[in-house]
Structure 1
């Protein structure tokens, strides 16, 4: 269902782009704007993982510096029949996590120190499974494509505002043209956010299947949501554009499942996960002997 919803939303974004191009009097300007926006986003796509990791200050860890976390991620990746991603840790008290990379063969997952210290091993495993689901679903590619169209729409809108004709020969005249130039980028942004929310639901579903326990992920989301509101994520606050990458919105004060939110309501996500409860058997982590300590992975191996 998540993939179908994403397809519908991307079709709407494409239609919006083509409609705006037609309003400007032909496809030449639309094609030029699309090429420019695509080039910018293609560069971002190939370098997004390095840029994101640098912006968040995440540091790489391995089997020697963080054996528990890396071993868990490797086990989950093997269970999902996907390449093992690089593992990073982000220094912040706020519990959160994100994934980045242009494809499954060139990907990375990152967990915050707050996540590792606040959640149980089962909950951490579920969060890491969610991030692996983003990689497996190639959500980075999906979001890059939507960013390309959203960027192209913004370019076309600016072009029309500053270099367009009077608009008298267009439907709606000057007022209609100006209204569309203003509203089109807003609509593109809303669709982009909707696609991001759709991918979160899908990653929840696939992540729950990878770890085999939807209740672990539901518990993790509930705990992260509660703790994140009271703990500042300085890096995310400095770069709000990164917010959609995290499993829970890292910016304080949000939570509603509305048009302008990059994340679905946590309550809605938990409700969807709990509907999966009857099929919770399976999953490598669920079948293995996971210690139910109620505490997170020890942080002293990586200082």
Structure 2
């Protein structure tokens, strides 16, 4: 990036605005990464707010959550930044007693630049590098390597330190810390989706997808493209931010030291000797020199930085006055010819790095812009051949081919599977904890497409799989929300009451706990007291018969119907046929007849009926219109078998 300005610092404010705009690009990349991570889970468990299928719902519910989560992650990283960097590079804090030359230079330059004296650290490594870190001026740290201290004279070391102090003064340390944290977060979200496997699996994956679920082929390609765009875009954004900031820091260093020749000499000494061993890729972004090519590019090339300094300082960068050097084993200052060579000579590293920023960033591996490795690319081509072979009879029908790749039925499939599993887990939790079933599991739709519509639109393997998922077995029922249960849906239960002329119970068999005689003496605990049960029901019927219309309109009639059900089930189970005969006689009393008349009256009131569930309405109607048929389905089945 050349400085096409008059003077050395005229572009700093414009560069600040540019960095803010580039940082906004990180937020966009984070949201792209979040979409890739959340797409399938939301499609399964929250389809009304899933990206692609419901952009508005996703933007309303999840974009703010993703942004807040990213902001929290960045804030936590900034708070722990200095400690994290210290663990990463292994520097040690020093003071005047440890490194008097270094601390004296740092303090003098800091005072001259109007900064509080920062903390100072040293890395015991022969590499030549330096960096500043922290989140503000008060807790900033300037760190240099032992190789830098030993190889640079005072003037050269001073320009490097001024460069790092410029990062502190400009607020670059906070910006670069946030940029690195953003890139780590984007990589953490995306790279698991790009995990490598062996070549045979990579080749076979796409043909298998084309046989089982063709829409997933497009999804994998879209994920790959978006992932590569987010990764490479994030790397490019960081490169542009760090590149521009390095140029500004060089300019501030020249301003503070008035010695561009010393800075040029220092940069030349660093070139090719700055890499710290065991430092993870991309973590050299905060240093004065780092990678300038590949997927983890963080810096402009040394050659371009020297060119920028020479372009605006002219002959000052080429004049090498005598240098100050307080090293005990100081070497001779470099000659003018060496300085000129550092400006006009192009090292091999500089030549390899001298390319456009876009070409200097990559994914860090052998993936192309589709996110595919060479083996996966071959598998994708083979998958296309397999797909065309399976649909060879439809090659003249483009609409049929497009329909086979339509993601909407697959989306409904994920929604059915997700909602079903969620409701079943909720049901198990409700049984264990005694909680009420979630209201969401009583709905009638799981997606913009109902199950029936999805089945109608689905074809091929997706349609077959969706049909298999939505076909209940003889003892298993599919509910409208997509979950399966041994308990039929309310509409099915109500239809059974009307057609089978009976009411459903929790499940029992006559005599499964032993049968009792109807004339058995009453027990003190009241258990198995058939006459006591019937007397209680008679008393309840009398209350219903004598109650006012207002009182009967509440729960009184509902409780009466439930009592009749409970007594009939208990008598059938524990007393058998003799008990049923006794119950029929008791339920034929005038009090019960009057109570049933009151029930018929209430069933003519739409407002009261509206307060009943479908099953309650069907059971109340059966009792009111045909009291003799008001029996359990277990008893009804037995009676039917006996008649046959």
| Length-normalised TM-score, structure 2 | 0.38
Partner of 2:608: none
Does residue 129 of structure 1 match 2:165? no
Structure 1: how far apart are the matches of 2:239 and 2:316? 30
Q: Note the residue ranges of structure 2 that are not aligned, 5 or more in a row.
A: 1-10, 36-50, 195-212, 330-644
TM-score (structure 1 length as normaliser): 0.76
Q: Deviations over 1:187-244 (max 9, x none)?
A: 122212221222111111112212222221111001111444xxx622xx24334211
For residues 30-49 of structure 1, the C-alpha deviation after alignment (integer angstroms, 9 at most, x for no partner) is: 22222222222211111111
CA contact (8 A) 1:59 1:88 kept: yes
Offset at residue 275 of structure 1 (A):
2.6
| Helix, strand or coil at the partner of 2:115 | coil
Give the number of equivalent residue pairs.
272
The corresponding residue for 1:93 is 126
Mean Cα displacement is larger for which, 150-159 or 4-13? 150-159
Q: Which of these residues, 247, 256, 259, is aligned with residue 210 of structure 1? A: 256
1:292 aligns with 2:335: no
Indicate if the aligned counterparts of 2:113 and 2:256 stay in contact, CA closer than 8 A: yes
Find the residue that maps to 1:99 and give its secondary structure. strand
Deviation for aligned residue 1:150:
4.2
Q: 2:285 maps to which residue?
A: 244
Q: CA deviation at 1:292?
A: 2.3
- Partner residue in 2 for 1:117: 150
Task: Decide whether aligned partners of structure 1 residues 255 and 85 sit closer, same or farther in structure 2, where only a CA change above 3 A counts.
Answer: same
Alignment partner, residue 237 of structure 2: 191
Write the distance in 1 (CA, Å) between the matches of 2:221 and 2:127. 47
Cα RMSD (Å) of the superposition?
3.3
Cα separation, partners in 2 of 1:260 and 1:156, compared to 1, 3 Å: closer
Within the alignment, does 1:138 sit opposite 2:177 as a pair? no
Q: Which residue matches 1:9?
A: 22
What are the equivalent positions in structure 2 for 1:57-96 lying under 5 Å apart?
A: 57-96=90-129
2:77 is aligned, of 38, 44, 49, to: 44
Q: What is residue 233 of structure 1 aligned with on the other side?
A: 276
Kindly indicate whether residue 65 of structure 2 is the aligned counterpart of residue 29 of structure 1.
no
| Contact 2:163–2:249 (8 Å) recurs in 1 | yes
Measured after TM superposition, the shift of residue 173 of structure 1 is 7.6
What's 1:108 paired with?
Answer: 141
- Residue 112 of structure 1 and its aligned partner are, at CA, apart by 0.9
Q: Is the 8 A contact 1:59 1:89 kept in 2?
A: yes
Give secondary structure in 1 for the equivalent of 2:121. Answer: strand
Alpha-carbon distance in 2 for matches of 1:90, 1:177: 41
Aligned with 2:269: secondary structure? helix
